[in-house]
Structure 1
Amino acid sequence: MKYNTQINKYLQKADEAFETDKTIKALDLYNKVYKLSNGENLEAIINLALIYDSLGKSQKAKEYYEEALSIDDYEERAYYGLASIYDEEENYEEAIKLYNKAIYINPNYHVAYFFLANTYDVSGKKALAIETYKKLLSLNPMDFWANLNLGCIYEEQNQNNSAYKLFSKALKINPNNHLALFNMGVICYKFNMIEKAINFYERAIEKDKTYEYSYLNLAVIYKYRDTKKGIEVLSKGINNCSEVYFLYYNRSCFYALNNEQNKACEDIIMALKLYPQFLKYVLEDEELEKVRELASFKEFITGI
């Protein structure tokens, strides 16, 4: 009885520390529970695995999850935890198997459905990803990310009406999410609703000034109708985003289209400095033909 009281006391303090991000303190307290229970307290074992995973010690985390399963082979959290580690390691087949085990034990395991669907998606199993997202949405129709991600798969497959419905639903759930606004811009552009697409991209930028693809897609709309406006959009993107090599590349093309070859050359050189793999495209891009003839470009290429 004394040991049980002490275990519960440590466990409560450990949970409080864990919930308040006092990781080291939580680790110490869970270890005390583990020792006092002779390695039989499942809560301590699962949380030790979670902590070690968060600290980047995935092998140690796996060992604790396996230990939990040796005590209770119906411990859904252990299957899910192992699956998430294998998922992170891009061992998708193992992750899929383990997510499915967690769902078999708990058919209402929302987060397992979500990451299973995502794993199917990134591993190219699009039909299974769609099926799994649909199952999740049957359990929780208001899951923002499930609506958005399923919409993205439909958009990739040019099932644009289905994508539009899901993006609209996602925006009703969270009207201020920049990715939902961005994706509505993509769909509206596909439907040739140009002014609506512009509006959605501008709102996406307003909500997140660091998402480079919003600038790119908005600029592309202006490329031939108002090249200078497109250059302005790309310039804002370059100023606000950290990964901007493709924005430099595209601004170079816009400058070339606007007969500002020297500025185009400066941008293409910057793009190549940031991302040398662009060289193949630069040498083949018809829009940059005059830029390639400039002495400054030839000098730069010679030095690569």
Structure 2
Amino acid sequence: MTVYLNFNEKYNNYIIIANDFVSKDDLKSALNAYNKALEFATTPDKKIDVLFEISDIYLIFEEYLSAKICFEKIIEIDSTRSGAYYGVALTNDFLNGSVEESIKYYKFAIEYDDNYDRAYYYLGHCYDKTGDKNAALRCFKKCIDIDSEDYISYNDIGCIYEEQKCYDMAKHYFECSLKINPNYFRALYNMGVVYKALGDNNVALEYYFKAKNEEKNPYIYLNISAIYIELKDFNRAIEILNEGIEYNPESVNLFYNRACSKARLGDKEGALLDLKRAVNINKEAYNWAVNDLDLTEVIKEM
């Protein structure tokens, strides 16, 4: 009895110390204290509680293998802990493990918690990777059944319909996403993609510019420039590409499109400089240029 109380007191003390370090954002010291608490954990629940805390810190440190080992230890202690199965799947994703293993563990997490929305969400992305779009849609739709405010899942459903060229369905789900979060740049961007596919460049540009106000993603600038190039408005294409490159100086696509635009305006020297920059970022850009009529003369100088 005395030994048990001693261990219990030490466990509680180390938990208090660890939590104090967490409150001070000293996670390395917190990790040490949690590991000491684990040594004095006398019940399965206490061991599991500490292992979850340790695994969370490993995730923050991006030490995914260590986190995965903790989650696996939890499952060894209690095979019904949905969060541990989710943790194994998530860390497997971070470690670029097999999609099949992630699917297996996300499904285990759902088996023990049918309302585990994030397990459904990432399971959906796993199915998307394997090409099983219908299974992915079922998972994302389950997410919005669980949480009707999940604007990210609405957007991801729209993305699958857009890939399948079901543009009206895609637009519906992007609009649902934006109704919840009008500033979500991915849904704004995707509305631009849909309207471009439907042939309405003006509305597409409106949405791309709204997306640009929220995020300086290179693909937003790329798609805006592509519309201007299509319209043969090369000066405006260069103007938007200049801005995009300022925010994304390592984007091969932005330099490449600017090279094409400059070439179309007769600025061979400027086009050559941008093409060289693109190739320096990604050597594959040279192969694009070889077969690009816009750069026929420029590529000869490389």
**Structure 2 residue 61 is matched with structure 1 residue 55:** yes
Against the structure 1 CA distance between its residues 76 and 170, is the aligned structure 2 distance closer, same or farther, given a 3 Å change threshold? same
**Structure 2 residue 30 is matched with structure 1 residue 26:** yes
Is the contact between residue 188 and residue 194 of structure 1 (CA under 8 Å) also seen in structure 2?
yes
Q: Percent identity?
A: 32
**Structure 2 residue 194 is matched with structure 1 residue 187:** yes
**Structure 2 residue 130 is matched with structure 1 residue 86:** no
Question: Which deviates more from structure 2 when the two are superposed, residues 215-224 or residues 58-67?
Answer: 58-67
Whole-Å separation in 1 of the counterparts to 2:8 and 2:124: 41
Whole-Å separation in 1 of the counterparts to 2:260 and 2:6: 75
Against the structure 1 CA distance between its residues 177 and 19, is the aligned structure 2 distance closer, same or farther, given a 3 Å change threshold? farther
Cα offsets for 1:188-223 (capped at 9, x unmatched): 2122222221111112112223x1111111111111
Partner of 2:161: 154
C-alpha deviation, 1:16, in angstroms: 5.4
Partner of 2:49: 43
Partner of 1:218: 224
SS of 2:33's partner is helix
Question: Which deviates more from structure 2 when the two are superposed, residues 56-65 or residues 15-24?
Answer: 15-24
Cα offsets for 1:86-143 (capped at 9, x unmatched): 1122221101100000000000111111111122223333221111111111111211
Whole-Å separation in 2 of the counterparts to 1:160 and 1:20: 49
Match of 2:151 among 144, 148, 157: 144
Is the contact between residue 74 and residue 105 of structure 1 (CA under 8 Å) also seen in structure 2?
yes
C-alpha deviation, 1:165, in angstroms: 0.9
Match of 1:102 among 86, 103, 109: 109
Whole-Å separation in 2 of the counterparts to 1:183 and 1:266: 32
Whole-Å separation in 1 of the counterparts to 2:234 and 2:62: 47
Is the contact between residue 50 and residue 81 of structure 1 (CA under 8 Å) also seen in structure 2?
no
Partner of 1:246: 253
Is the contact between residue 64 and residue 94 of structure 2 (CA under 8 Å) also seen in structure 1?
no
C-alpha deviation, 1:272, in angstroms: 1.1
Against the structure 1 CA distance between its residues 116 and 138, is the aligned structure 2 distance closer, same or farther, given a 3 Å change threshold? same
Against the structure 1 CA distance between its residues 232 and 135, is the aligned structure 2 distance closer, same or farther, given a 3 Å change threshold? same
Against the structure 1 CA distance between its residues 187 and 239, is the aligned structure 2 distance closer, same or farther, given a 3 Å change threshold? same
Whole-Å separation in 2 of the counterparts to 1:144 and 1:12: 38
SS of 1:223's partner is helix
Q: Which amino acid aligns with 1:215?
A: Y
Q: Which runs of 5+ in 1 are unaligned?
A: none
Partner of 2:294: 287
Match of 1:237 among 241, 244, 249: 244
Whole-Å separation in 1 of the counterparts to 2:176 and 2:21: 37
Is the contact between residue 212 and residue 243 of structure 1 (CA under 8 Å) also seen in structure 2?
no
Is the contact between residue 245 and residue 274 of structure 1 (CA under 8 Å) also seen in structure 2?
yes
Q: TM-score, normalised by structure 2?
A: 0.90
Q: Which amino acid aligns with 1:72?
A: D
Q: TM-score, normalised by structure 1?
A: 0.89
Q: Which amino acid aligns with 1:46?
A: F
Question: Which deviates more from structure 2 when the two are superposed, residues 35-44 or residues 113-122?
Answer: 35-44
Whole-Å separation in 1 of the counterparts to 2:297 and 2:222: 23
Q: Which runs of 5+ in 2 are unaligned?
A: none
Whole-Å separation in 1 of the counterparts to 2:186 and 2:293: 32
Whole-Å separation in 2 of the counterparts to 1:236 and 1:15: 45
Whole-Å separation in 2 of the counterparts to 1:16 and 1:173: 37
Whole-Å separation in 1 of the counterparts to 2:283 and 2:163: 28
C-alpha deviation, 1:232, in angstroms: 0.9
Cα offsets for 1:255-295 (capped at 9, x unmatched): 222222222222112211221121111111122112234xx
Partner of 1:166: 173
Question: Which deviates more from structure 2 when the two are superposed, residues 30-39 or residues 241-250?
Answer: 30-39
Whole-Å separation in 2 of the counterparts to 1:224 and 1:62: 49
C-alpha deviation, 1:20, in angstroms: 5.8
CA RMSD of aligned residues (A): 2.0
Against the structure 1 CA distance between its residues 101 and 9, is the aligned structure 2 distance closer, same or farther, given a 3 Å change threshold? same
